[in-house]
Amino acid sequence: AADTTTATITPSHYRDKYLPIYLDSVAVGGLESGWDYDSALRTVFRSGKTTPEPYQVTVPTTPVTEDELRTEPFVDSPELLDTRGVPDSVTALSRSIIEKAGATTVFDAADALLHYFTKPANGFRYSLNVPAGNTGDALTDFLTQKTGYCEQYAAALAVMLRSIGIPAR
What tens digit of pLDDT does each residue of 119-158 get? 999 999 999 988 888 888 899 999 999 999 999 999 999 9
Distance CA 168, CA 156 (A): 11
- Angstrom distances, CA of residue 165 to CA of 5, 63, 89, 131: 33, 27, 15, 30
Helix axes 88-101, 138-145, angle to 10 degrees: 40
Encode 86-104: b = buried (16+ Cβ within 10 Å), e = exposed.
Answer: bbeebbebbeebbeeeebe
Residue 38 reports pLDDT greater than 90: no
pLDDT band at 2 (very low <50, low <70, confident <90, very high): low
Q: What percentage of the chain reaches a pLDDT higher than 90?
A: 63
For all residues of the chain together, what is the average pLDDT?
90
Mean pLDDT of all residues in 70-85: 83
Q: 0.75 exceeded by the pTM?
A: no
Answer with the residue of higher pLDDT: 79 or 113: 113
Residue 1 reports pLDDT greater than 70: no
Query: Which pLDDT score, from 0 to 100, does residue 41 have?
Result: 79
Q: First and final CA of the chain: distance in angstroms? A: 31
Residue 134 CB neighbour total at 10 angstroms = 10
DSSP 12: S
Query: Which pLDDT score, from 0 to 100, does residue 65 have?
Result: 85
